[in-house]
Chains A and B, each alone.
Chain A
Amino acid sequence: MSRFRALLRTTAVRLSALYLGLFAISAVVLVFYVTDMTTSLLTNQTKQVVQDELKVLGNFYRRGGVALLITHIDRRSREPSANLYTIAAPNGSILAGNVASLQPGILDRQGWTERPFSYRRFYQPEGTPGHQALAEVIFLPNGMRVLVGRDLGEPTQFRTTIRRSLAIALGIMVVGALLIWFFIGRGALHRIDRVSQASQKIMAGDLSQRLPVSGSGDEFDRLSGALNAMLGRIEKLNEGLRQVSDNIAHDLKTPLTRLRNRAEAALSGADDAAEYRAAMEDMIDESDQLIRTFNALLTISRVEAGSAVAEMNDVDLSQIARDTEELYEPVAEEAGVQLSSAIADGIHVSGNRELIGQAFSNLIDNAIKYSADNQAEAEVVICLENVDGKKVLSVRDNGPGIPENRRQDVIKRFVRLDESRSKPGTGLGLSLVEAIMDMHGGQLVLESNGESGQTGLHAMMVFG
């Protein structure tokens, strides 16, 4: 029962009920209009026939008087037709014609009968209901009355038939609509039930659940698709949040512990001002590193939440590439890395200069840091070019590279390859680059540098 009520509440059912109601009303109006039109048309026709007859009979009357009139009425009465003829004496007794009896009072008034009246024919058996007719009555100068009329059987039957068939058609329509409602509405209800079941599970905390998609591409699928995309985004943000809190627990505790240990060691060590000073300075360095990690984490989550989108402008990528190269050139030189570049001029994107600059310096920083190990000819190449309509800002190095199966991992927060743990860094650099590229509708692509056999990383910031 409650399912039936739920069915009644669906939009499809409500809408179709409304349409059905409107349609039925207009159909009924149509039926009455059509039948009325037909009836009045037929009535006019009847009157026309009657008047023609009267004209003919009038001629006979003028030519041969009452005798000829009666003869002709008598003759016409014998012909099978829907016409009625009566001639009556002034006292009302019927002299000739094909009518056995009339509704009383019909012959008392001259002219058209106002409404159909009933009468009986001669051959009509007793007890059957009378016929209906329209007629015109004329008083002759001698007081005799002539009635010429026409039976209404045909038009009445016609009207009844039309009404009945229309009623049947309407009935079939209502039944059909009810059936269609039932199945469509039930189908819709079924799908909505599945959607709400899925959302219940999601609300219970299982963000990996998705709304069902039937694959038909209809409006339900489109809605589910959009909601699923939204869920995907929420899941990603949520995942990020959880990762951050996990990471804070694991990765920030380590430097905090170091910090505490350093302070403890200084306190329990020799009572020496120089020693204290050294410890303090170490602790400041350690906390600066902590703050740096915090800032990087915050920047990532802010960028991922999209709150920096407001500060998007037209930025000159070429200028950023040159500035960053210039910023890192002495760093590379000191690390014994040869830094070169191929920067195309005048490449612009819509973005945030600060963030793109930060992302790109992360990549260069990494490239220099890791290629510096390549004893002989450490080399880093900065490149900005248009590739298939995409703007690609990239850094190649010939360091150890990243194994293909770990390339997705290193983008995650705090993930560092074992080989790189000895290097300074927060483990957040590539995560930040990816978040920034995401915000710009672009991508961070990591590939191995050059032909097979060569090591090194080709890190690309691809702007759409």
Chain B
Amino acid sequence: MKILVIEDDLEAAAYLIKAFNEAGIVTDHASDGDVGFYLATENTYDVMVIDRMLPKRDGLSIVSELRKKSIETPILILSALGQVDDRVTGLRAGGDDYLPKPYSFSELLARVEVLGRRKGMRDNETVYKVADLELDRLAHEVHRAGQKINLQPREFRLLEYLMKHAGQVVTRTMLLENVWDYHFDPQTNVIDVHISRLRSKIEKGYDEALLRTVRGAGYILKSDS
């Protein structure tokens, strides 16, 4: 995967480049809006990470200009402004995701990977499969090793999201956003409880643990085999 990071804070950018490279992601960097816009239009990237406040050219205007030029690369907007209305303006400008500063790198990485693999990925599949776990999106049914598992509607959506992004780390906030459509940070670990309940339903009595906790980041659904 190849991404573009437009971030004017050089120290933060150096850290991001190093961390993305370690995660196996090739990273181009621009430190102001003009260079960023040039790179974004000249090269092809899988994902762009754009800071909202940039010298020379504002992040949001880059996003809307790229969309006008029909460049549909997934864009994640980074911002120190993290309120409800800021998120809305960011997404309205054409951003695909919005991450308020300060963020943890694992959160950013998880989101970038989800955005990067999003293109045409699994939206058309009606059945998701991970090892012996199967989720039928049309019939709203889940089977493991041929055995039907009864899930509540929300548990189904939770599993659906995890399976759609199987093999990728999804964070708690990503789950809260995509499964519950809330963007705040609940004080207690609400998501953890839902996950452990889901886990007990899909894993109790089976050999392989598919839904794993990634410490400091979130969860990943994958099979070793």
What is the interface of chain A, defined by CB distance below 8 A to chain B?
Answer: 281, 284, 288, 291-292, 295, 298-299, 302, 307-308, 310-311, 323, 326-328, 330-331, 334, 352, 354-355, 357-358, 361-362, 365, 368-369, 424-426, 429
Contacts and interface: CB of A to CB of B under 8 A. Distances in A.
Contact of B216 (A284, A295, A334, A357): A284
Given A327-B180, A357-B182, A365-B188, A311 B88 contact: yes
Contacts of A281: 215-216
Contacts of A368: 188
23 contacts: A281-B216, A284-B216, A292-B185, A292-B187, A298-B83, A307-B83, A308-B83, A308-B85, A311-B84, A326-B154, A327-B182, A327-B190, A327-B194, A354-B182, A357-B184, A358-B182, A362-B187, A365-B186, A365-B187, A368-B188, A424-B188, A425-B187, A429-B187
Contact of A334 (B104, B184, B193): B193
Contacts of B85: 307-308, 310-311
B183 interface: yes
Contacts of A352: 84
Interface in B189-225: 190, 193-194, 196-197, 215-216
Contacts of A323: 180
A354 B183 contact: yes
A334 B180 CA distance: 20
Nearest to B152: A326
A162 B183 CA distance: 87
Interface of B: 82-85, 88, 100, 102, 104, 154, 180, 182-188, 190, 193-194, 196-197, 215-216
- Residue from A307, A330, A352, A361 having most chain B Cβ neighbours under 10 A: A330
Contacts of A331: 188, 190, 193
Contacts of B193: 330-331, 334
Kindly name the residue among B84, B180, B190 whose own CB sees the greatest number of chain A CB atoms within 10 A: B84
Given A284-B216, A331-B193, A355 B188 contact: no
A326 B193 CA distance: 12
A263 to B, nearest CB: 16
Contacts of A330: 190, 193-194, 196-197
A365 B188 CA distance: 7
A354 B216 contact: no
Contacts of B197: 330
B136 to A, nearest CB: 23
Contacts of A355: 84
Given A295-B82, A308-B84, A284 B185 contact: no
B218 to A, nearest CB: 13
A58 to B, nearest CB: 105
Given A299-B83, A327-B180, A369 B216 contact: no
Given A281-B215, A330-B194, A295 B183 contact: no
B118 to A, nearest CB: 24
Closest 4 CB pairs of A and B: A330-B193, A358-B184, A354-B84, A331-B193
Nearest to B187: A365
Given A292-B185, A426-B187, 10 more contacts: A298-B82, A299-B184, A308-B85, A311-B84, A311-B88, A327-B194, A330-B197, A331-B188, A334-B193, A361-B190
Nearest to B194: A330
A293 to B, nearest CB: 11
Nearest to B183: A354
Given A281-B216, A295-B185, A311-B88, A302 B83 contact: yes
A183 to B, nearest CB: 54
A361 B82 CA distance: 19
Given A327-B190, A328-B190, A330-B194, A354 B184 contact: yes
A284 B196 CA distance: 22
A330 B102 CA distance: 29
A205 B183 CA distance: 39
A244 B180 CA distance: 31
A288 B183 CA distance: 16
B131 to A, nearest CB: 25
A361 B182 CA distance: 11
Contacts of B184: 299, 354, 357-358, 361
Nearest to A303: B83
A352 B184 CA distance: 13
A355 B185 CA distance: 11
A302 B82 CA distance: 10
Task: Give the residue among B83, B85, B100, B194 with the most A Cβ atoms within 10 A.
Answer: B83
B187 A284 contact: no
A137 to B, nearest CB: 100
Nearest to B216: A284
Contacts of A311: 84-85, 88
A160 B216 CA distance: 107
A355 B84 CA distance: 8
Contacts of B88: 311
A326 B180 CA distance: 10
A307 B188 CA distance: 27
Nearest to B103: A291
